[in-house]
Structure 1
Amino acid sequence: MSNQECGGWRLSEQEEEEDEDDEKDEEPKVCQVCGDRATGYHFNAMTCEGCKGFFRRAMKRPVKFSCPFQNACLITKSNRRQCQACRLRKCKEIGMLKELIMSDEEVEKRRRLIKVKRTQLEPVILTPQQEGIIQELLEAQRKTFDLTFSCFKQFRPIDRTLAPMVMHVPPDSGFGGSDDCPSSSSSSSLSSDEVGRNDRKFSMLPHVADLSTYMIQQIIDFAKILPSFRELAIEDQISLLKGATFEVCQIRFNMLFNEKTGKWECGPLTYCMDDAARAGFQRHLLDPLMKFHYTLRNLQLNESEYVLMQAMSLFSPDRPGVMQHAVVDRLQETFALTLKTYIDTQRMSPEKHLLYPRIMACLTEMRTMNEEYTKQLLQIQDIQPDVTPLMMEVVRKDI
């Protein structure tokens, strides 16, 4: 059955708003129920907003109305509330139909669709609040991440005399070693006799421990600059830092990763994955970690995208020990929405819609590596005493 029947319109609520706009350009219409100014066709009849709402409510109620007189009341604008029975009778007489009333679920669904359509039509822009968030993160980053690595001269020296425990070159990486990170297939692993002679002493562990401690301190300083972080309970601050330090550290190091050479260029110093192997870390961590750095670096993120990614990692509500779960969840959602909006407004590539989910995939991948890092660091600590107290405080959940 069509929406036009017997020369009249049968309209559902889904069509009313469009018709109301058309009515504004025509001469005023009169409500066929009470004589008030009509706003359009509602439930198949020309009515005012008052009678439209009355009919909807009356049809949804189980109560039956009764007229105190002779069921012949004259309904006008001034007395339409005095006799509900006669008002409802008049509604039905002019052709208002119950079946055109949308259910509450349908109304809510329609409202959501309208909201989505309006959002799609509106241009996507960074709000002043989002721009402020980005600037706040960038300032905190620049105050706490020394790209020149001038302080590295204070660390215990690099010692690459010991061959790496394992080789860590992912397939098709294009990286086969370097002068700064000497390794060869013949010396890619230590025999049990060599391990015994060296007493499992990992040559790069002292320097890597100093490097890691330095990075942890910078990340703590980064978090403390952010007002949203400082406002959290101290217990939650500790839980978030313990959970995110490894991940934020890797995001920062990725900014220095040269995907052509497979090395991290840190000011005057250069590192490769074999250095981590010389510090005692094993391939269960280093192989996926190397793949992660190639994957993330190939996304070609800029500084704003990197710091927003760090903030999303830091403000993770599901870290062990977090109490203000809802607060942290809202903060993470704010950073995530800011990142997505930034990508939508600043990226010009036709494939920009793929960038946000790829960043999310990298964040998810780091969660698995985070657990393996904790496991391996605790194993290294059992063998060598060079792991610093701050490193252990981060990974031990009982501290």
Structure 2
Amino acid sequence: MSLSSHSDAECSPCPPQGPRDPPGDTERGGDTEQGGDTEPAEDKVCAVCGDRANGYHFHVLSCEGCKGFFRRSILKGVRYSCPLARRCPVTKAKRRQCQACRLQKCLDVGMRRDMIMSEEALRRRRALREQRGQPGGQPGGLTAEQQELIDLLIAAHQRTFDSSFSQFAHYWPAVRLYIPSPPRSGVAAGGSPPPLPPPTEDVLPDVFSMLPHFADLSTFMIQQVIKFAKEIPIFRSLPVDTQISLLKGATLQICQIRFNTVFNANTKVWECGQHCYTIRDGALAGFQQVYLEPLLKFHESLRRLHLHEAEYALLQAMLLFSPGHADIAQRDLIDQFQEKVALTLKSYIDHRHPKGRFLYPKLLLLLTELQTLKVENTRQILHIHDLSSMTPLLSEIIS
């Protein structure tokens, strides 16, 4: 089974070229971009110029002025020049003197071009905000289109992911599986059950004893993600090579989002029906602690957010439709759909998630961590030579 079968320049202190900060350093009435939820600003400073920050914009804690400057500069494609070899100070008082150094500072502190919303997306969001207070709007502040998208993605997720992993029953059995002991009726409330006896010699695992099982599990999960993607009409409408590009870019990350739905943060165990896994099982498959420890931390952090099923489904779609993974000819279409998904997730959190304040920017930060995990995961898989030979589909995903 294969994927295809599923088918700046330089700086001038003055006069600065290009867009300037408008009076008050605001932009379009304070519209906030993806990841731009505001937080109480006391003791928070802009990572670019040191001015008072009013929230996270484009993945960085920044002021309204630097947010607007970065957005306008990227959208207009302005090229700035600096005669001082990009050594100009970027402070609250001097940020307007050299646009090139200011833009470079924005990039250096981590502002992301891919999080800039188009004018059309901003117009849609303004219209959505206006609609919230009008009769005839959807309950909970969602538009009919957004609710339809949520229903579609939840249905796709449910049809392609079984938390009991019942369809995985016929795969290669593991040498050792961690099975939590059932609660004993004789244990008093608040007490601890007696310790488990030490494992016998015949079940002690050898190095890489989990590798065949992990290979089967990886193949199974990848197949399910491919089916999930095929459930989404806009994905099916894309050329096959673009579908493959999107799957290669996102499948491993989507697998981790799905695994998080069965992660028990108290026991640090992934409870996959009859199969239960710990970080130790990853080590027995050949993975190193430099990947496994951040992986466990990621799952603990994401699980603490208590996401709804709709939010898990929307996150998977956000990851799948990433324009950075796709063929250049389809990038605009993919970007527009990802914006639609992101706006729907933001609206859902605002109106349907109790105590969801700051949840959206937290999710964006965790998605950034997930990308780092994917890079390290791919690097380690490539070094476990037996793994890629066991599962050609995994080998194709990371190729």
RMSD: 2.9
* 2:398 equivalent among 377, 395, 399: 395
Q: Are the counterparts in 2 of residues 285 and 373 from structure 1 also a CA contact under 8 Å?
A: yes
Aligned counterpart, 2:145: 129
1:73-222 to 2 correspondences below 5 Å: 119=129, 122-123=132-133, 125-160=141-176, 202-222=208-228
Letter paired with 2:392? P
| Partners of 1:138 and 1:334 in 2: CA distance | 16
Partners of 1:322 and 1:307 lie apart in 2 by 26
1:357 counterpart residue number? 361
Aligned amino acid, residue 397 of structure 2? V
Partner residue of 2:266 out of 260, 267, 275: 260
- Within the candidate set 238, 245, 254, 2:251 is matched to 245
Identity among equivalent pairs (%) = 47
d(CA) in 2 for partners of 1:135, 1:319: 25
Q: Deviations over 1:278-318 (max 9, x none)?
A: 00111121111110000000000010000000000000001
Name the amino acid aligned to 2:360. Y
Q: How has the CA–CA distance of structure 1 residues 116 and 385 changed in structure 2, closer, same or farther, with 3 Å as cutoff?
A: closer
Give the equivalent residue in structure 2 for 1:296: 302
Residues 121, 257 of structure 1: CA spacing in aligned structure 2 closer, same or farther, 3 A cutoff? same
- Residues 215 and 387, structure 2, Cα contact 8 Å, conserved in 1: no
Q: Give the secondary-structure state (helix, strand or coil) at the position aligned to 2:384.
A: helix
Deviations 1:77-125, CA, capped at 9 Å, x for gaps = xxxxxxxxxxxxxxxxxxxxxxxxxxxxxxxxxxx99x96994795371
- The CA deviation at 1:219 is 0.3
Q: TM-score, normalised by structure 2?
A: 0.58
Change (3 A) 1:181 1:136: farther
Q: Give distance in 1, aligned partners of 2:144 and 2:197.
A: 46
Is 1:374 the counterpart of 2:378? The answer is yes
Question: Could you say which structure has the larger radius of gyration?
Answer: 1
Question: How far is 1:151 from its partner?
Answer: 2.1
**C-alpha deviation, 1:386, in angstroms:** 5.3
Is this contact kept in 2: 1:140–1:226, CA < 8 A? yes
Displacement of 1:343 in angstroms is 0.8
**Contact 2:150/2:314 (<8 A) preserved:** yes
CA distance in 2, matches of 1:282, 1:321: 33
The CA deviation string for residues 126-147 of structure 1, in whole angstroms up to 9 with x for no partner, is 1111111011111111111012
Q: Which of structure 1's runs of 4+ aligned residues deviate more than 4 A?
A: 115-118, 178-182, 383-386
Q: Which amino acid aligns with 2:381?
A: L
Note the C-alpha offset of 1:392.
0.2
Q: CA offset at residue 235 of structure 1? A: 1.1
Q: In structure 2, what is the Cα distance between the partners aligned to 1:207 and 1:226?
A: 30
Q: Which runs of 5+ in 2 are unaligned?
A: 1-121, 134-139, 178-194, 200-204
Offset of residue 387 of structure 1: 3.3
- Provide the rounded CA distance (Å) in 2 between the counterparts of 1:229 and 1:354: 30
Q: Is the 2:132–2:142 contact (alpha carbons within 8 Å) kept by the matching residues of 1?
A: no
- Rounded Cα–Cα distance in structure 2 between residues aligned with 1:132 and 1:221: 20
| Structure 1 residue 181: Cα displacement | 12
TM-score normalised to the size of structure 1? 0.58
- The verdict on how the C-alpha distance between 1:385 and 1:137 changes in structure 2, with shifts beyond 3 A counting, is closer
The number of aligned residues is 250
Map of 2:234 onto structure 1 = 228
Question: Residue 270 of structure 2: SS of its match in structure 1?
Answer: strand
Specify the alignment match of 2:13 in structure 1. Answer: none
Cα distance change on mapping 1:279 and 1:133 into 2, 3 Å = same
3-state SS, counterpart of residue 270 of structure 1? strand
Whole-Å separation in 2 of the counterparts to 1:179 and 1:327? 55
